């Protein structure tokens, strides 16, 4: 590999199993010479396989609920103790919607669930950044990345209240990116990833149809979890030091497409069928 992260120390949220985007990033970061601490909720640690990943990457796991400020303080302090100093990168790969899980439609949301969705999937990012800044946990030119989705900009049927959470997440990256950049030269970005078959991804109803659609509509096809990890490594590396406050689409071109040749052909064909079948 390229040793892009040699000497860098980090913190990775959200590796649940080997399908997780965060799991793929951890494996690639390890290959590129990084050292990092892994974290997830105590519950997911019981059901997931994170200990296996920790053993593979020769590291420790510190449990934390990303919505709890005391948990985040403990996590960042333990991480700094582990390394005997500050860190260089953080991956926030955390999301959950009880409205999606419980099948509540967007025009019939449970507002208690909505608050949870926003807290877990967006506000937790602000909490993490605020705690990290107060503890001065990140070195100058450090890099923080969170995971987003194009439903923040465009309506994708069934993405539900998670679209609102992603819009807020991207806004937090910009607002905090200004302050953390100005004060400490730390960069903050979101990567907007193609739909990917992970545990969270599979929770979105109709994900198979959606993935087929985006695969066909993207000139380069959907981005896989492995490709996501490659891209993420570049953002943690010193090769992207002036990239901040951005939402970066990693989606094979999908977000810039309106109509493709194949989709047009298919549309005309089904229109013709409708006409002849009448």
- Which residues have a catalytic role annotated? 149, 159
The window from 1-9, 181-189, 198-206, 214-222 that contacts ligand NAD (CB under 6 A) reads: 198-206
Please report whether residue 97 would count as binding ligand NAD according to CB under 6 A.
Answer: no
Among 189, 198, 218, 244, binds ligand NAD (CB under 6 A): 198
Residue among 38 and 87 whose Cβ is closer to ligand NAD: 38
| Whole-number Cα distances in Å, 125 to 38, 114, 164 | 16, 16, 14
- Look at residues 133, 100, 126 and name the one whose alpha carbon lies nearest to residue 114: 100
Binding mask 101-120 for ligand NAD (x = CB under 6 A): -------------------x
Q: Of 184, 86, 72, whose CA–CA distance to 124 is shortest?
A: 72
Alpha-carbon distance of 263 to 235, in angstroms, equals 33
Q: Does 14 bind ligand NAD (CB under 6 A)?
A: yes
Task: Decide: is 93 part of the binding site for ligand NAD (CB under 6 A).
Answer: yes
Output the smallest distance, CB 197 to ligand NAD, in A.
7
Pick the binder of ligand NAD from 26, 72, 87, 96 (CB under 6 A): 96
From CA 89, how far away is CA 194, in angstroms rounded? 22
H helical segments located in the chain: 21-31, 42-47, 50-56, 69-83, 98-101, 111-118, 124-134, 162-184, 199-202, 207-217, 225-236, 261-277
CB-nearer residue toward ligand NAD: 12 or 87: 12
| Size of residue set near ligand NAD by CB under 6 A | 27
Question: What gap in Å lies between CA 31 and CA 184, rounded to an integer?
Answer: 28
The stretch near ligand NAD (CB under 6 A) out of 144-152, 170-178, 181-189, 215-223 is: 144-152
Q: How far is the CB of 149 from ligand NAD (least distance, A)?
A: 4
What is the secondary structure of 123-173 as a DSSP string?
IHHHHHHHHHHHTT-EEEEEEEEEEE-GGGTS--TT-TTHHHHHHHHHHHH
From 20, 99, 214, 246, residue interacting with ligand NAD (rule: CB under 6 A):
20
Output the smallest distance, CB 206 to ligand NAD, in A.
Answer: 12
Q: Which is nearer to ligand NAD, 4 or 150 (CB)?
A: 150
Nearest Cα neighbor of 147 from 69, 232, 79, 50 is: 232
Task: Give me the 52-71 binding string for ligand NAD, x by CB under 6 A, dash otherwise.
Answer: -------------xxx----
Place of tokens 């909720």: 41
> Residue 245, by phi and psi: left (phi above 0), alpha (psi -120 to 50) or beta?
left
Query: Does the protein bind ligand NAD through residue 131 (CB under 6 A)?
Result: no
Asked whether the beta carbons of 168 and 227 are under 8 A apart, the reply is: no
- Taking the least distance from each CB to ligand NAD, the nearer of 99 and 196 is 196
Query: Which residues are at the interface with ligand NAD (CB under 6 A)?
Result: 13-14, 16, 20-22, 40-41, 44, 65-67, 93-96, 120, 147-149, 193, 195-196, 198-201
């Amino acid at each position: 590999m390229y040793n892009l992260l040699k000497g860098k120390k980090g913190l990775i949220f959200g590796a649940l199993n080997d399908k997780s985007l965060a799991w793929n990033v951890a494996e690639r970061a390890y290959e590129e010479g990084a050292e990092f601490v892994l974290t997830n909720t105590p519950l997911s640690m019981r059901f997931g396989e994170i200990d296996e990943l920790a053993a593979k990457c020769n590291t420790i796991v510190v449990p934390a609920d990303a919505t709890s400020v005391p948990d985040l303080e403990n996590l960042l302090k333990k991480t700094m103790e582990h390394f005997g100093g500050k860190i260089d990168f953080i991956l926030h790969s955390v999301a959950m919607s009880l409205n999606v899980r419980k099948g509540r439609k967007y025009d019939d949301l449970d507002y208690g669930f909505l608050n949870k969705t926003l807290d877990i999937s967006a506000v937790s990012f602000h909490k993490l950044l605020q705690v990290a800044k107060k503890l001065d946990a990140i070195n100058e030119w450090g890099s923080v990345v969170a995971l987003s989705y194009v439903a923040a900009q465009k309506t994708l049927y069934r993405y539900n209240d998670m679209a609102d959470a992603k819009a807020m997440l991207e806004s937090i990256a910009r607002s905090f990116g200004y302050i953390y950049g100005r004060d400490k030269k730390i960069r903050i970005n979101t990567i907007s990833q193609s739909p990917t078959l992970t545990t969270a991804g599979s929770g979105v109803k109709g994900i198979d149809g959606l993935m087929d659609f985006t695969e066909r509509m993207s000139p380069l096809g959907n981005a896989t979890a492995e490709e996501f990890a490659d891209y993420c490594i570049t953002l943690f590396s010193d090769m992207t030091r002036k990239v901040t406050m951005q939402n970066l689409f990693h989606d094979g071109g999908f977000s810039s497409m309106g109509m493709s040749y194949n989709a047009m052909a298919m549309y005309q064909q089904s229109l013709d069928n409708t006409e002849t079948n009448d």
